[in-house]
Amino acid sequence: MNEISKKYIKLFFSRIWLLALLMAVSAGATYFAYKNSFEPIYEARIKMMIAINDKYANEVNIFDSIRSSQMAVVDVSQIASSEEVLSGVEKECGISQHVLENSITINAIPNSRIIEASIQTYSPELALMLLQSLDKNLYAKLQEIDGITYKVLNRPYADATPINSNEYLIFTGLAVLGGIFLGGLINIVIGESVLVNKSITPFDGFFENENILPVPASKKAKVEGVKL
Amino acid sequence: MRLNPVSDNSDLFLLSIRKIINDILLKEMKSMEDINTIALVSSFDEDGSGDIADYISYEFSDNGDKTILISLKEESSGCNLKNKVREASADGIIKTGNLNLDYLSLDNLKRTSEFVINKESVKSLLNKLKEKYKRIIIDTSPLEENLSGFIAAISADGAYFVCNSKSNRGSMIHKYYSDLKDIGANVFGVIFNNAGKRIVRKIYKMDGRKHG
């Protein structure tokens, strides 16, 4: 580590109280600001396994059956978020399709026949109700489409704990780091200024007790009367 | 000498040089002994001892003291006088445009007398020059390059340690300065070259922008 790095690291931590103060202020401000504007988000989830009807499965071998089911996963994902299914949910729960589209996440697990569907809202009861309605409407829709069905692996459930409950810790942590960084920057600026104004001996005061004779830059100095 | 302050900085620079001259004269008065030979020793090339040596020589010569500037640098291109010389005498000494100021480079010393830098040869040279000159200013190679700075410092009546105040090689500067003191050099002081104007004014207790 060179001298300049050492100098700036020393300056950065030169006033620990300032770092601690800014850290506490920024962390406190962030915590209270976040707490006042905090809107909990709850999530309800369901896990389904897609299968094709037995009557078709009997006609093809097991590998073709699995392959067909995997292809059907993509179809079901699209159907679950289709207008017809969502309009059914809208009718039952009174939540507009536009809001539903933004709240529903359908995740087809690659190379499997499993689909995970989740809905995020500001109430766990509402999330569960919407998901149950989605399950019901999707199942009804698939009944109309001959050959595809699904089995529910995990019944719809919703956590009572908001999924964003730890966000304040992350933001408060970032505010702590920001406070330290800001305090360090202020320390460097103040430190440099103090060094310029007060320090008469560079090199950490090594020459403090010596006879010091400073000379400014000489580039423009001219002497009249000396003709070389 | 009249100062021609083309800028506040040049004004301050020349006044700082005068402060060095005053420092030498004051030491002379205190010790009641002549200070004829002064070495300027630096750690690195960037410290700029050459300019300081030039201007100290100008100032002494302008005060009426017969002065010679000796450059013990292997390449004396750093000296402002080099490109403005007229002709060298048989002993290698070059007359400058200033009546009281002469110049002697290491190149000329080597050419005329097969000069080799060591304690004896430098002392002998200085003793010889003392007969003719009242002030002998010695500019030396940086201490990181060779020992000429140490040799000149212990051979001269006193030495100034020149360092660039913006240098980031503080630990090496500390070391060279300690070495200089350890070998018994009579260090008159430390010249912080390239110092900030505020520091210059603060140390010399100058107020406002008009000086001199």
Q: What is the pLDDT of residues A90-141, one digit of tens each?
A: 888 888 888 888 888 888 888 788 888 899 998 889 999 999 998 889 888 8
B84 in A contact zone (CB under 8 Å): yes
Residue B84 lies in a domain: yes
CATH number of B127's domain? 3.40.50.300
Alpha carbon distance A26, B141 (integer Å): 55
Residue B163 lies in a domain: yes
User: Which chain B residues are within 8 Å of A194, Cβ to Cβ?
Assistant: none
Angstrom distances, CA of residue B149 to CA of A2, B50, B73, B191: 26, 13, 9, 15
Q: For residue A149, give the H/E element and its range.
A: strand A148-158
Q: For residue B190, give the H/E element and its range.
A: strand B187-193
Using CB atoms within 10 Å of the CB of residue B102, give its burial: 0 to 12 exposed, 13 to 18 middle, 19+ buried. buried
Residue B64 lies in a domain: yes
- Tokens representing A157 are 């459930």
- Tokens representing A47 are 């896990």
CB-CB: which of B2, B101, B197 is closest to A216?
B197
Alpha carbon distance A71, A53 (integer Å): 14
B79 pLDDT tier (thresholds 50, 70, 90): low
- As a whole number of Å, the end-to-end CA separation of chain B is 12
Closest CA to B53 of B35, B36, B71: B71
B95 in A contact zone (CB under 8 Å): no
Q: Quick check: B4 pLDDT over 70?
A: no
Residue B16 lies in a domain: no
Name the residue range of residue B155's domain: 33-196
B48 in A contact zone (CB under 8 Å): yes
Angstrom distances, CA of residue A170 to CA of A19, A21, A32: 19, 19, 14
Q: Which of A1-5, A80-84, B125-129, B169-173 has the lowest mean pLDDT?
A: A1-5
Residue B75 lies in a domain: yes
Closest CA to A176 of A31, A13, A14: A31
Chain A positions contacting chain B at CB under 8 Å are 2-4, 196-197, 199-204, 206-207, 210-228
Residue B144 lies in a domain: yes
* Concatenated DSSP letters of A34-95: HHHH----EEEEEEEEEEE-HHHHTTS-HHHHHHHHHHHHHHHHHHHTSHHHHHHHHHHH--
A198 pLDDT tier (thresholds 50, 70, 90): low
B61 pLDDT tier (thresholds 50, 70, 90): very high
Q: Which residue has the tokens 């048989």?
A: B90
Residue B86 lies in a domain: yes
* Contact call for B3 and A227, based on CB within 8 A: no
* Contact call for A211 and B13, based on CB within 8 A: no
Q: Quick check: B172 pLDDT over 70?
A: yes
Burial letters B141-162, b for 16+ CB under 10 A, else e: bbbeeeebbbbbbbbbbbbbbb
Beta bridge partners of B187: B159
Q: Which of A80-89, A145-154, B82-91 has the highest mean pLDDT?
A: A80-89
Residue B4 lies in a domain: no
Closest CA to B181 of B208, B206, B202, B161: B161
* ipTM over cut 0.85: no
- Rounded to a whole number of angstroms, the distance from the CA of A193 to the nearest CA of chain B is 12
Q: What pLDDT does residue A222 have? A: 53
Alpha carbon distance B132, A152 (integer Å): 111
Q: Which residue has the tokens 């995020």?
A: A120
Tally the domains of chain B: 1
